[in-house]
Chain A
Amino acid sequence: MSPQPPAPAREPAWSLSRSAIGLWVAQGVLGTVLYGLAVLAYVLFVPGDSGWFLGALRWALPVFVVVYGVLFIGVAPRLRYRVHRWEVTADAVYTLTGWLDRTWTLVPVSRIQTVDVTRGVVQQLFGLASVAVLTASSQGTVRIPHLEAEVARRVAEDLARRAELVRDEAT
C-alpha cells in the first residue's frame, strides 16, 4: 500500500478528557442495549415460519446488534479519542473532530460572537462539559466535546473575555 498522503492541516495540540472514552462507551452500551431489546422482542414475537425474508431477519438482526456493540463499545470510543483534539492559540480556536471522516475547524478569536458551555445529563455523570464557540456564520461553529467541566468553564471565560477585547467586525 502506498504511504498515506499528508493531512491537509496539522493536529491541534491537546486531547479531550480521558473520561470522554468512558462516556462514549456508556453511550455505546446504552445504544446496544436498546437495539438488543428491540431485536429480542422481534425474535420472541415474530414466528420463524413467516416467509424467507422475515426468517432471515431473525438471524441478521442479532448479528447486527453484535457488530454494532463491538464497533461502538470496543472500537469507536478509543478511535474517537485519538482523533479528537483541540487547541486555543493566541488568535484562534482550533479543533479536529470525527472518527472515520475528519473535520478541522478554525475560528479566529476576533470573530467569536458567543461562547456556550453545555452539560448534558450523561456528561454530568462523568464530570464533563462541551464548549460551543459561535460566529456570525451558521456553519462556522466550533464544538469542543467532553472537556473536564472546570477546563470548559475556564476556556469559555477566557475566550469570551478575549473576544470582547479584540472584536473587530465579527461578521
Chain B
Amino acid sequence: MTGPAGRRTSAWVLLLHTITFKQARGWVPVVLAVAAGRGLGDGPTTVVALVVGITVLSLVWAALSWWRFSYADGETSVVVTRGLLSRTVRTVPIDRVRGVEVEAPALHRLFGLVRVRIDAAAGSVAAKDEELVVDGVPRAEGDRLRARLLTRRVPAGPLPDGTEAVPEPEEELARFDPRWLRYAPLVGGYLAVPLAAVGALFRVADEVPDRWKPDLGQPDLPGTSVVALFLLAAVVVLVVGSVVGCAVVNWGFRLVRRGGSLLAVRGLVTRRHTELELDRIRGWTVTAGLGMRLAGAARASALVTGLGDAARRGQLLPLGPRDTAWSLAARLVDDPGPVRAHPPAARRRAVVRACAPGVLVLVAGAVLTPLAGWWVLLVVGGALTVLGVPLGLARYAALGHVAGERSFAVRAGWLVQEHTVLQRRAVVGWQVQQSLVQRRSGLATVRACVGAGRGGYPVVDMAAAEAAGFARAASGAWADTLVDG
C-alpha cells in the first residue's frame, strides 16, 4: 500500500512561531548564560544584537521544523512525520482516534489558522504522548480533518455520484447565557484567576527599579479603615477577576449534537472546538461546590472512554443553573432517579471521622495545657470537635446511591458535591473494600471500576449486606459471582 501524499501546514505558521519564539524559547537561557559568561556590555547595541539573534534563530528553527513536518490522512490511518535530524513517523489507525479538538488561539485567528489536536488514547500511555498536534492549518482544512477523522463512514470529499455529502442536521443542546457569569465568583477555579494575576503583578512590581515607583508616602487614614478598604478592594478584584476569567474561557459556549457526535465550541480569545463521540459516552457527573449549591448553580461533564484530558474536553456545561445542567446531562444517559440514603452507621462513621482531628488537637491540648500552658490548643481543639459534628452530618447527607434500569448513580462530597451517573455497560469491574471499623459497623465501600473519567467511582459506606445486590443491579448477572459461585 502506498501511503497517502503528505500535507504541510500553512507557511504562515512560520511567522506565528517566530513572533511567539515558540521553538527558540528553550534557547533563551542558553543565550543568556553565554552572554553572562562572555561578559557582554549592557549597552543598547548588545540588547539589539540579542533580540535580532534570537529572532533569527527562532525563524530558522521554525522554518526547519515546518519543512520537516508533514501529516497525511489515509483510508485507515493518520500519519504524522516530524523531527529535525532523527525522523519520527507516527501512525494512528483512524478507528483509534477518540477525539479531535480544533483550537484557534488569538494569533492564529489573525492568520485564519487553527491548531488541530488529535487524541489517540492508548490505555496507559502518558497523556502527553497520546496526542498528535497539527499546528497551523487553514480553518477549512482543520474542519475537514476533524470531519474526516471522526465520521469514519462518510468518505472524504464529494460522494461517488458527484454530489457533496449532505451536512448532517445539527441540534443545539446548550448555549452559554452571559447571565450565568454571575455564578463565576462561587467557583474555586475561577477565583484562582485574579489571585494568580495579582501574584504576577506583585512579582513585576518587585522587578521595577525603585526610582520608577511612585512615592505613595504613608496614608493618613487610621489602621482600621485601611484594612477595611483593602478588604473591600480585594473582594472587588476577586469578583471582577473571576467573572472576567470565566467570560474569557467560556464566552460563546455552545454544545451541539451533529450526527453521532457532540461538538462543543467556546472561548473569547482562543476559540476551541471539541468533538466527542456519543457512542463513547458512558456517563456524566454534575458537580456543585458549596457556594454553587447555595446559588443553585452546577456544571456538567461527560465521562467518555479513553478520552485524554477528560476534565476539560468532556465538559457539557462549564457553568449554569442546576436545572439546565441536569436536564442536559439526562439527555445523554438516563437519570436513575433520586439517590437512596446510607444506613445510620454511615452517619456515625462520618461524624466520628469529621471530629477526629479536633479530638486529636483537644487531647494534645489537654496534655500540654498543664505542662506548657498551651491553652490555645485546648480551645482550638474544642472548637474543631464541635464543628466536626455538622461537617460529618453534612458529609453523610451528601452520600447516596441508586441503581436504575439502565444506569446507576453515586453521590458524595460536601465541599464539592459530585453526582455521577454511569451506564450499566460502563462497569468493567467491582471492588468491595472493608476496613476493620467498617466490618464492625456492617458497612462497605463499593467501587465501580470504569474505563472513563477517574477510573473508579466509590459508593462510600453503604450497608455491607446490600453491596452485592447493588453491584448486580448496577452491572449485570456476572456480578452474582460476589454471592454464589
Q: In the docked arrangement, what's the CA distance between A89 and B433, Å?
A: 21
Contacting pair B456 A139 (CB below 8 A) = yes
Contacting pair A8 B451 (CB below 8 A) = no
Query: What sequence of 0s and 1s flags, for each residue 301-314 of chain B, a beta carbon within 8 Å of any chain A beta carbon?
Result: 00001100000000
Contacting pair A103 B433 (CB below 8 A) = yes
Contacting pair A107 B429 (CB below 8 A) = yes
Contacting pair A171 B451 (CB below 8 A) = yes
Say yes or no: is B483 at the interface (Cβ < 8 Å to chain A): yes
Say yes or no: is A108 at the interface (Cβ < 8 Å to chain B): yes
Contacting pair A100 B449 (CB below 8 A) = no
Say yes or no: is B225 at the interface (Cβ < 8 Å to chain A): no
- CB-contacts of A79-112 with B (<8 A): 87, 89, 91-92, 94, 100-108, 110-111
Contacting pair A106 B435 (CB below 8 A) = no
Say yes or no: is A137 at the interface (Cβ < 8 Å to chain B): yes
Say yes or no: is A51 at the interface (Cβ < 8 Å to chain B): no
Contacting pair B468 A9 (CB below 8 A) = yes
**Smallest CB-CB separation from B433: which chain A residue?**
A103
Across the interface, A139 reaches (CB within 8 A) one of B425, B449, B464, namely: B449
Please give the distance in Å from B173's CB to the nearest CB on chain A. Answer: 24
| Chain B hits for A154, CB < 8 A | none
Across the interface, B481 reaches (CB within 8 A) one of A92, A103, A110, A111, namely: A92
Contacting pair B428 A106 (CB below 8 A) = no
Q: In the docked arrangement, what's the CA distance between A13 and B456, Å?
A: 26
**Smallest CB-CB separation from A96: which chain B residue?**
B432
Q: In the docked arrangement, what's the CA distance between A5 and B432, Å?
A: 15
Please give the distance in Å from A140's CB to the nearest CB on chain B. Answer: 3
Contacting pair A7 B434 (CB below 8 A) = yes
Q: Quick one: which of B439, B451, B456 has the most chain A CB within 10 A?
A: B451
A interface: dominant SS? loop
Say yes or no: is B124 at the interface (Cβ < 8 Å to chain A): yes
Across the interface, B428 reaches (CB within 8 A) one of A6, A91, A107, namely: A107
| Chain A hits for B465, CB < 8 A | 5-6, 8
Contacting pair B429 A102 (CB below 8 A) = no
Across the interface, B479 reaches (CB within 8 A) one of A7, A106, A135, A139, namely: A106
B interface: dominant SS? mixed
Across the interface, A140 reaches (CB within 8 A) one of B428, B435, B468, namely: B428
Please give the distance in Å from B194's CB to the nearest CB on chain A. Answer: 35
Contacts A107-B428, A137-B429 hold; do A5 and B306 have CB atoms under 8 A apart?
A: no
Say yes or no: is B450 at the interface (Cβ < 8 Å to chain A): yes
- CB-contacts of A1-59 with B (<8 A): 4-10, 13
| Chain B hits for A108, CB < 8 A | 428-429, 476, 478
Contacting pair B482 A106 (CB below 8 A) = yes
Across the interface, A101 reaches (CB within 8 A) one of B280, B436, B451, namely: B436
Contacting pair A105 B468 (CB below 8 A) = no
Say yes or no: is B430 at the interface (Cβ < 8 Å to chain A): yes
| Chain B hits for A92, CB < 8 A | 478, 481
- CB-contacts of B256-305 with A (<8 A): 280, 282, 305
| Chain A hits for B481, CB < 8 A | 87, 89, 91-92, 94, 106
Across the interface, B432 reaches (CB within 8 A) one of A104, A110, A142, namely: A104
- CB-contacts of A112-171 with B (<8 A): 113, 135-140, 142, 169-171
**Smallest CB-CB separation from B463: which chain A residue?**
A8
Contacting pair B124 A89 (CB below 8 A) = no
Contacting pair B439 A5 (CB below 8 A) = yes
Q: Quick one: which of A4, A7, A107, A136 has the most chain B CB within 10 A?
A: A136
Interface size grouping (class) on chain B:
35 or more
| Chain A hits for B431, CB < 8 A | 103-106, 139-140
Please give the distance in Å from A58's CB to the nearest CB on chain B. Answer: 23
Contacting pair A104 B482 (CB below 8 A) = yes
Contacting pair A91 B478 (CB below 8 A) = yes
Say yes or no: is B484 at the interface (Cβ < 8 Å to chain A): yes
Say yes or no: is B444 at the interface (Cβ < 8 Å to chain A): yes
Contacting pair A171 B434 (CB below 8 A) = no
| Chain A hits for B157, CB < 8 A | none
| Chain B hits for A89, CB < 8 A | 481, 485
Q: In the docked arrangement, what's the CA distance between A121 and B481, Å?
A: 34
| Chain A hits for B138, CB < 8 A | none
Contacting pair B484 A10 (CB below 8 A) = yes
Say yes or no: is B321 at the interface (Cβ < 8 Å to chain A): no
Contacting pair B449 A140 (CB below 8 A) = yes
| Chain A hits for B280, CB < 8 A | 171
Say yes or no: is B123 at the interface (Cβ < 8 Å to chain A): yes
Say yes or no: is B467 at the interface (Cβ < 8 Å to chain A): yes
Q: In the docked arrangement, what's the CA distance between A139 and B457, Å?
A: 9
Contacting pair B442 A136 (CB below 8 A) = no
| Chain A hits for B452, CB < 8 A | 171
Contacting pair B479 A136 (CB below 8 A) = no
| Chain A hits for B425, CB < 8 A | 169
Q: In the docked arrangement, what's the CA distance between A148 and B280, Å?
A: 39
| Chain B hits for A87, CB < 8 A | 481, 485
Q: A9-B468, A107-B428, A135-B428 provided; 11 other pairs, C-beta below 8 A?
A: A4-B439, A5-B439, A5-B440, A6-B465, A8-B446, A13-B485, A106-B481, A107-B429, A111-B428, A135-B449, A171-B305
The 5 closest A-B pairs by CB, nearest first: A136-B451, A140-B449, A139-B456, A140-B429, A5-B442
Query: Which A residues form the contact surface with B (CB < 8 A)?
Result: 4-10, 13, 87, 89, 91-92, 94, 100-108, 110-111, 113, 135-140, 142, 169-171
Q: Sample 14 A-B pairs with CB under 8 A, ordered by A number.
A: A5-B439, A5-B464, A5-B465, A8-B467, A106-B429, A106-B482, A113-B123, A135-B428, A135-B451, A139-B431, A140-B429, A170-B428, A171-B428, A171-B451
